[in-house]
Copies of this chain bind each other. A is one copy, B any other.
Amino acid sequence: MKKVTCTAPVNIAVIKYWGKRNEKLILPINSSLSVTLHQDQLKTTTTVAASREFTEDRIWLNGKEDNINHPRLQSCLREIRRLARKRRSSGGHGGVSRILNDKVHICSVNNFPTAAGLASSAAGYACLVLYLSVYTLAKLYGVEGELSEIARQGSGSACRSMYGGFVQWLMGDRADGKDSLAQQVEAESHWPDLRILILVASAEKKHVGSTAGMQTSVETSPLLKFRAESVVPGRMEEMIEAIRKKDFEAFGQLTMKDSNQFHATCLDTYPPIFYLNQVSQRIISLVHRYNGHYGQTKVAYSFDAGPNAVIFTLEPTLNEFVEVVKRCFPPEANGDPYLKGLPVGPAPLSQELLSAVETDVCPGGICYMIVTQPGPGPAESADLSLDLLGPDGLPKPSA
């Protein structure tokens, strides 16, 4: 049995992707840009094993066996095996031929609850796993070089998790999608002060899945078409400029405007889609009150296809803003830790600040927060303890 284990990060778009121009090739109607989150706080780990003993390809997600026959997964498996065969016949990697006809077992786990709504849904998570599986399979077969295109096909916005730091997914203009690729804009070390705070809202209902949602939006929203064609191109340039200059005022404002515009196009969809709930609306209002108090953009929000908020801020503001969130959304005493991730220190709040922000207190509105920062892209893990498959090729009890 040959095994490889890799880890990959999740990413949060600050210029949003919503809508495909080609459903099959997953080609987007506009470019998008994201920040890769640090794997110390949020990562997906995938182990792929190949063995002559395996009788069929199998996949486990977070401890539960899943359907290996998913079309996207199948096409990725086919494509990567084709690539490996091509490589072998042209005299490449020696060890590959031995395992190319073996069935594979794929096992993937998150170190964060899916409730966090990152990789925004079960579907988003599946895409990330798919992408990471391809990445890991490529390592297994020794065909790393050409994986980016295969991984992108079938993974949608998860393709932006291919790099660390700040990553754009260029929409491209070719019909075959070969120029629709992820590209690093700046590395994770570029903006050391940047902090990211995930506020996990207490979700009360099922939301429209992003795949179905964006398809309906493309079909019905006149505003989405206009946004993709006439608004996003300029915003991509502005966002890259703001990141290059580490201009938080510009970065934060544009992040909030783009999140709002994405949700506006969801509302312009017929029937309309709502991802923001009352807690999301309160977080939005809190951020504007907080910034209003200081007369500058010190924190910014972004929301994906769910009610959870992602907050961007700079290190000097972190402690205070976390304290403000705690005041406005006091944790319910259920024993679960409210703060996860990077350490946060205490911060005294002035009476002026409190009266500026604390207009409505909503206990239990936020279940917990995860504090993180930009981080690196995927990597093969040398740490054998991370290996998810046991000697029998089945998930270890902990996986």
Interface residues of A, Cβ cutoff 8 Å to B: 205, 222-223, 226-227, 230-231, 253, 256-257, 260-261, 263-265, 267-272, 274, 276-278, 281, 284, 288, 360
Q: How far is the CA of A269 from the CA of B271 in the complex (A)?
A: 21
13 A–B pairs (Cβ distance < 8 Å), ordered by A: A222-B227, A222-B261, A223-B223, A223-B268, A260-B267, A260-B268, A260-B269, A260-B270, A261-B267, A264-B268, A271-B288, A277-B278, A278-B278
Which residue of the partner chain, among B261, B271, B272, contacts A268 with CB atoms under 8 Å?
Answer: B261
Q: Which residue of B lies closest to A205 (CB)?
A: B360
Give the number of times this chain occurs in the complex, counting copies. 2
> Within 8 Å CB of A226, what residues of B?
222-223, 226, 230
Q: How far is the CA of A21 from the CA of B230 in the complex (A)?
A: 22
Q: How far is the CA of A230 from the CA of B222 in the complex (A)?
A: 9
Give the Cβ gap from A299 to chain B, nearest Cβ, in Å. Answer: 13
Q: How far is the CA of A268 from the CA of B258 in the complex (A)?
A: 8
Q: How far is the CA of A398 from the CA of B261 in the complex (A)?
A: 48
> Within 8 Å CB of A227, what residues of B?
222-223
> Within 8 Å CB of A271, what residues of B?
256, 284, 288
Q: How far is the CA of A231 from the CA of B288 in the complex (A)?
A: 30
Q: Which residue of B lies closest to A360 (CB)?
A: B205
> Within 8 Å CB of A269, what residues of B?
260
Q: How far is the CA of A269 from the CA of B256 in the complex (A)?
A: 11
Q: How far is the CA of A119 from the CA of B59 in the complex (A)?
A: 59
Q: How far is the CA of A277 from the CA of B280 in the complex (A)?
A: 11
Q: How far is the CA of A256 from the CA of B268 in the complex (A)?
A: 10
Q: How far is the CA of A253 from the CA of B268 in the complex (A)?
A: 12
Give the Cβ gap from A224 to chain B, nearest Cβ, in Å. Answer: 9
Give the Cβ gap from A25 to chain B, nearest Cβ, in Å. Answer: 28
Q: How far is the CA of A274 from the CA of B277 in the complex (A)?
A: 11
Given contacts A257-B270, A271-B288, A284-B272, contact A223 B264 (CB under 8 A): yes
> Within 8 Å CB of A230, what residues of B?
222, 226
> Within 8 Å CB of A278, what residues of B?
277-278
Give the Cβ gap from A220 to chain B, nearest Cβ, in Å. Answer: 8
> Within 8 Å CB of A253, what residues of B?
270
Q: How far is the CA of A256 from the CA of B269 in the complex (A)?
A: 11
Give the Cβ gap from A324 to chain B, nearest Cβ, in Å. Answer: 17
